[in-house]
Amino acid sequence: IRMPEDTTQDIIFVTCTAPVNIAVVKYWGKRDEDLILPINSSLSVTLHQDQLKSTTTVACSARFKEDRIWLNGKEENINQPRLQSCLREIRRLVRKRRSNRDPGADVLSLSHKVHICSENNFPTAAGLASSAAGYACLVYTLSRLLSVEGELSTIARQGSGSACRSMYGGFVQWHMGMRADGKDSVAEQVEPESHWPELRVLVLVVSAERKPVGSTAGMQTSVDTSSLLKHRAEAVVPGRMDEMIQAIRKRDFSTFGELTMKDSNQFHATCLDTYPPIFYLNDVSRRVIGLVHRYNRHYRETRVAYTFDAGPNAVIYTLQPYVSEFVQVVKHFFPPETNGEELFYQVIKLCCERSLREILPLPPCRAQPGPGPRMVEDTSLHLLGPDGLPRTSA
Amino acid sequence: IRMPEDTTQDIIFVTCTAPVNIAVVKYWGKRDEDLILPINSSLSVTLHQDQLKSTTTVACSARFKEDRIWLNGKEENINQPRLQSCLREIRRLVRKRRSNRDPGADVLSLSHKVHICSENNFPTAAGLASSAAGYACLVYTLSRLLSVEGELSTIARQGSGSACRSMYGGFVQWHMGMRADGKDSVAEQVEPESHWPELRVLVLVVSAERKPVGSTAGMQTSVDTSSLLKHRAEAVVPGRMDEMIQAIRKRDFSTFGELTMKDSNQFHATCLDTYPPIFYLNDVSRRVIGLVHRYNRHYRETRVAYTFDAGPNAVIYTLQPYVSEFVQVVKHFFPPETNGEELFYQVIKLCCERSLREILPLPPCRAQPGPGPRMVEDTSLHLLGPDGLPRTSA
């Protein structure tokens, strides 16, 4: 990496990747819309980036006339408020460092404009927390470009709440915090990804009807109308966070899985208690839930757990010895090709198994918890070309 | 009607009918399994018996060797505990009256055995609170046969909780009561059926997958595992009962409808918060819910409200001026025959409209709130023949 003040170089490039995270104690509802402060703490597992990741290249140059951004090859409005929050907060950190330590060093980088290019290696249609990975990647890449350190999760949080959890690998909690300015609403690693080597994560992509209500609008309506959500946030989640952290520390899959399923169900219950009600699960999701409970009942222990975010796709947590049998069971009950009808053909696609791998050119995946954001050293992988414009766009 | 002590008659017959009721504040969860005492009060509308009803004939004779019961033409076990509770409690009232007023008058009737024959005029597959109508009809018919009066709703309650509400017409609340013996857990009429002449009730029969979890088992699991149910019963329902009663008294459909929808959604939310979760709504139910909200949004007022019991079928409350348009809208979005595929053919059947009327030989129905149980004077309508055995069975 070359520093931006290196003016022998016309354009400075930095490329980083960041992971998706899947909550096992769910975030739903803000107490502050602008700062994105949640009504309860949450906890997630960071997925390995071999499987799903965001990649962002940021270029910085005196030649650029304005900040610009491309998402998945398409230029987007840079003035979107959450994007502006992230840029503003990162630049504030740069100024703070300058005034503290090294006056004058960052003058150039602060006046320079940036070009941002971001891509996900998974279909956005899959509804897999793409904004969390995306904002984590943006903030991390900017921080590396501008050489700032410090509490970056609060900046990612202002892009997309759950993005703060993608700033760390392994098992990550997002403390709701108490302060009005949100300074204590930060993510923190509970255990690193190496802590529980047997844990596995599968993504079952249910061919989705389009998400009927976006997360931002949905959670606001829930906060406004659901008394069950208020009760959940105040009376249920605090105890559940403690139990979940203990289960993770002890690698107690039975407790971890049961809490994960209960929390997913309670989140969707509060969506149903919203007025008008919000439904993210469909009949296929419900059949997956039924299958998991029957499977566990068969073995008289919790070997597999499901969780659903704001969409019909299931994320499955299990342990290494059970993966292949459970995948066979899913294939049996949701045969991808045996039935010629479109309904069944589209029912379920297994990530890390044939179906989704056919769609995505993924390397053999590591269906395990993974590390946090990281920089890409291979400059041929920059998403922006030597001219500072996306390689893939016209 | 001839009294049982009229021994000039070999067999005494009494036939009565009783209505279905559909709750607008739902009952879910018992604090006492044997006495069937609920964890919250509830409120329902009694449907008119032109539409849906239970019919019960009870015959009483010194010649009968044992109590027997036939349900929908099939003999069932008379020793089922809830049936025994109702028989025992009714006979206790007879003994009480005898000891109080008229010693000796009922000696014969108390020693006589009964034959009970009960039928619903609607398909049990439709999942329309058949046990509530059935137990109300049984208790009412026995009370007429044995000439007992007094608090009968507590007896019907011991057959099936919500049966107590079918003992009255119109708008009926079931007070949860506080006593351990359940004496104050009674039904009470809030307003008679004549109170709100414009109110209409439609039943949309969604072709159902079989009910996955029965109400009795389901509500017990909910009480054991759902903290949201506990919160609902303690913190939400008491206020909602008051609001609902006021809305009914004022004939305020907007408030009545909105509370009805919210309460249905919250009931299903607590089912989802149960572990393992219980699902009664399916994708078709969810589309009906979406349709109602879109319809109301179009008119910027609540003209139509849905409610769902422990099954996928929708009950719609609306006002007389909106019935025919809303029925057309439903037919438009759920065409019963235009689509040859079985999925769509079975999707929805409109009671009171062509489809269900083709199945059931119903008189033109009155889709309004209706009266409570009543005696059938036409002796040709007895379900038991002169020999005291079902007319319809072999």
pLDDT tens string B260-286: 999 999 999 999 999 999 999 988 889
Nearest CA in chain B to A291: B276
- In the predicted model, what is the mean pLDDT of residues B174-180? 97
CA distance A34 to chain B (A): 28
Contact B269 A270 (CB under 8 A): yes
Omega before residue B192 within 30° of 0, cis: no
- In the predicted model, what is the mean pLDDT of residues A259-288? 95
Q: Which residues lie closer than 8 Å to B386 by C-beta, 6 or more apart? A: B11
Residue B26 to residue B47: CA distance in whole angstroms: 16
Same domain flag for B328 and B387: no
Contact B166, B19 (CB under 8 A): yes
* Helices and strands: H and E segment counts in chain A: 12, 16
Task: Output the six-digit token pair for A185.
Answer: 């609403």
- In the predicted model, what is the mean pLDDT of residues B147-153? 90
Identify which has the larger pLDDT, B102 or B188: B188
pLDDT tens-digit series, residues B289-332: 999 999 999 999 999 999 999 888 888 999 989 988 888 888 77
Name the band, by pLDDT with cuts 50, 70 and 90, for residue A211.
low
Decide: residue B245, CB within 10 A, 0-12 exposed, 13-18 middle, 19+ buried: middle
Edge-to-edge strands, sheet with B171-174: B21-25, B42-46, B171-174, B187-191
Contact B232, B308 (CB under 8 A): no
- In the predicted model, what is the mean pLDDT of residues B159-176? 96
CA distance A262 to chain B (A): 7
Same domain flag for A128 and A236: no
Same domain flag for B333 and B380: no
Three-class DSSP category at A181: coil
Task: Output the six-digit token pair for B19.
Answer: 């209505």
* Among A261, A272, A282, the residue to mutate for chain B (most B Cβ within 10 A): A272
List CB contacts (< 8 A) between A265 and chain B: 272-275, 277
Contact B236 A227 (CB under 8 A): yes
Mean pLDDT in chain A? 84
Q: How many CB pairs under 8 A join A and B?
A: 75
Nearest CA in chain A to B293: A276
Interchain contact A21–B (C-beta under 8 A): no
pLDDT of residue A129: 67
Same domain flag for B177 and B260: no
Residue A203 to residue A357: CA distance in whole angstroms: 12
Task: Output the six-digit token pair for A322.
Answer: 């059970």
Residue A33 to residue B22: CA distance in whole angstroms: 40
pLDDT of residue A135: 95
pLDDT of residue B220: 96
Interchain contact A240–B (C-beta under 8 A): no
Interchain contact B243–A (C-beta under 8 A): no
% of chain A exceeding 90 in pLDDT:
56
Nearest to B269 among A269, A283, A289 (CB): A269
List CB contacts (< 8 A) between A277 and chain B: 265, 289
Q: Is the pLDDT of residue A53 over 60?
A: yes
Same domain flag for B307 and B168: no
Three-class DSSP category at A289: helix
Residue B201 to residue B48: CA distance in whole angstroms: 9
Q: Is the pLDDT of residue B152 over 80?
A: yes
Three-class DSSP category at B233: helix
Tell me how far CA of residue A340 lies from CA of A99, A284, B172, B339, B347, in angstroms.
67, 17, 51, 20, 22
Nearest CA in chain A to B305: A276
Contact A158, A86 (CB under 8 A): yes
Name the band, by pLDDT with cuts 50, 70 and 90, for residue B212.
low
Task: Name the DSSP letter for residue A232.
Answer: I
The gap from C-alpha B325 to its chain's centroid, in whole angstroms, comes to: 28
Instruction: Please state at what angle helix B323-333 crosses helix B283-299, rounded to 10 degrees.
Output: 130
- In the predicted model, what is the mean pLDDT of residues B203-232? 84
Weakest-pLDDT range from A40-49, A131-140, B367-376: B367-376
Task: Output the six-digit token pair for B152.
Answer: 């009968």
Name the band, by pLDDT with cuts 50, 70 and 90, for residue B373.
confident
Same domain flag for A335 and A301: yes
pLDDT of residue A208: 47
Residue B181 to residue A258: CA distance in whole angstroms: 37
Contact B279 A268 (CB under 8 A): no
% of chain B exceeding 70 in pLDDT:
82
Contact B289 A277 (CB under 8 A): yes
Contact A258 B275 (CB under 8 A): yes
Weakest-pLDDT range from A24-33, A319-328, B5-14: B5-14
* Among B26, B209, B255, B262, the residue to mutate for chain A (most A Cβ within 10 A): B262
Antiparallel, parallel or unpaired: β B187-191 and B171-174: antiparallel
Cβ count near A202 (within 10 Å):
22
Contact A170, A191 (CB under 8 A): yes
pLDDT of residue A339: 37
pLDDT of residue B45: 94
Nearest CA in chain A to B227: A236
The number of residues making up chain B comes to 394
Nearest CA in chain B to A226: B266
Weakest-pLDDT range from A161-175, A342-356, B144-158: A342-356
Residue with structure tokens 């198994």? A353
Output the CA angle B160-B162-B164, nearest 5 degrees. 85
pLDDT of residue A110: 74
- In the predicted model, what is the mean pLDDT of residues A188-213? 81
Residue A285 to residue A205: CA distance in whole angstroms: 10
Weakest-pLDDT range from A204-213, B100-109, B160-169: B100-109
pLDDT of residue A362: 34
Nearest to A286 among B232, B235, B279 (CB): B279
Q: Is the pLDDT of residue B35 over 90?
A: yes
Torsion of CA B367, B373, B379, B385, to 10 degrees: 100
CA distance B269 to chain A (A): 4
Domain that holds residue A74: 1-196+374-394
The DSSP secondary structure of B40-90, one letter per residue, reads: S-EEEEEBPTTTSEEEEEEEEETT--S-EEEETTEEE-TT-HHHHHHHHHH
Q: Is the pLDDT of residue B188 over 90?
A: yes
Same domain flag for B14 and B105: yes
Return contacts of B93-97, CB within 8 angstroms, 24+ apart: B93/B143, B93/B146, B93/B148, B93/B150, B93/B155, B94/B146, B94/B148, B97/B148
Residue A331 to residue A324: CA distance in whole angstroms: 11
Weakest-pLDDT range from A74-78, A332-336, A387-391, B299-303: A332-336
List CB contacts (< 8 A) between B272 and chain A: 265-266, 268-269, 272
Interchain contact B341–A (C-beta under 8 A): no
Contact B289 A283 (CB under 8 A): no
Nearest to A269 among B228, B235, B290 (CB): B228
- In the predicted model, what is the mean pLDDT of residues B145-165? 94
- In the predicted model, what is the mean pLDDT of residues B156-177? 96
pLDDT of residue B339: 37
Q: Is the pLDDT of residue A332 over 90?
A: no
Contact A333, A295 (CB under 8 A): no
Q: Is the pLDDT of residue B343 over 60?
A: no
- CB contacts under 8 A, A 290-309 vs B, are 290, 293
Q: Which CATH number belongs to the domain containing residue A223 in this structure?
A: 3.30.70.890
Residue with structure tokens 């609008």? A217
pLDDT tens-digit series, residues B129-148: 678 999 999 999 999 999 88
List CB contacts (< 8 A) between A258 and chain B: 275
List CB contacts (< 8 A) between B228 and chain A: 228, 231-232, 236, 266, 269-270, 273
Residue B309 to residue B260: CA distance in whole angstroms: 12
Same domain flag for B348 and B246: yes
- CB contacts under 8 A, B 250-289 vs A, are 258, 261-262, 265-266, 268-270, 272-277, 279, 282-283, 286, 289
Mean pLDDT in chain B? 84
pLDDT of residue A327: 81
Contact B54, B119 (CB under 8 A): yes
Q: Which residues lie closer than 8 Å to B174 by C-beta, 6 or more apart? A: B27, B38, B41, B42, B43, B44, B153, B157, B161, B162, B164, B165, B185, B186, B187, B188
Q: Is the pLDDT of residue B351 over 50?
A: no
Same domain flag for B168 and B245: no
**Helices assigned H by DSSP within A273-361:** 283-299, 323-333, 342-345, 354-359
Name the band, by pLDDT with cuts 50, 70 and 90, for residue B120.
confident
Pick the closest to residue B114 from B66, B82, B76 (CA basis): B66
Q: Is the pLDDT of residue A270 over 80?
A: yes
Contact A277 B265 (CB under 8 A): yes
Residue A162 to residue A152: CA distance in whole angstroms: 13
Residue B140 to residue B53: CA distance in whole angstroms: 13
Q: Residue B37 carries which side chain, given as an amino acid letter?
A: L
Return contacts of B90-97, CB within 8 angstroms, 24+ apart: B90/B139, B90/B142, B90/B143, B90/B146, B90/B148, B90/B155, B91/B146, B93/B143, B93/B146, B93/B148, B93/B150, B93/B155, B94/B146, B94/B148, B97/B148
Q: Is the pLDDT of residue A271 over 60?
A: yes
Q: Is the pLDDT of residue A276 over 50?
A: yes
pLDDT of residue B1: 52
Residue B327 to residue B338: CA distance in whole angstroms: 16
Same domain flag for A324 and A353: yes
Q: Which CATH number belongs to the domain containing residue A80 in this structure?
A: 3.30.230.10
Same domain flag for B217 and B321: yes
Task: Output the six-digit token pair for A237.
Answer: 């989640």
Decide: residue A194, CB within 10 A, 0-12 exposed, 13-18 middle, 19+ buried: exposed
**Structural domains counted in chain B:** 2
**Phi, psi of A159, rounded to the nearest 5 degrees:** -85, -55
Q: Is the pLDDT of residue B157 over 50?
A: yes
Interchain contact B235–A (C-beta under 8 A): yes
pLDDT of residue A353: 36
Identify which has the larger pLDDT, B147 or B248: B248
Nearest to B272 among A232, A268, A283 (CB): A268
Task: Output the six-digit token pair for A366.
Answer: 């590591």
* Among A231, A236, A289, A300, the residue to mutate for chain B (most B Cβ within 10 A): A231
Weakest-pLDDT range from A374-383, B98-107, B238-247: B98-107
* Among A230, A236, A273, the residue to mutate for chain B (most B Cβ within 10 A): A273
Nearest CA in chain A to B271: A269
Nearest to B275 among A227, A262, A273 (CB): A262
The DSSP secondary structure of A39-58, one letter per residue, reads: SS-EEEEEBPTTTSEEEEEE
**Phi, psi of B329, rounded to the nearest 5 degrees:** -65, -45
CA distance B221 to chain A (A): 13
Nearest to B272 among A231, A265, A282 (CB): A265
Q: Which residues lie closer than 8 Å to B228 by C-beta, 6 or more apart? A: A228, A231, A232, A236, A266, A269, A270, A273, B269, B270, B273
CA distance A109 to chain B (A): 51
Contact B284, A281 (CB under 8 A): no
Q: Classify the C-alpha dihedral B253-B254-B255-B256 as positive or negative.
A: positive
Return the H-helix or E-strand segment holding A115: strand A113-120
pLDDT tens-digit series, residues A156-178: 999 999 999 999 999 999 999 99
Same domain flag for A129 and A206: no
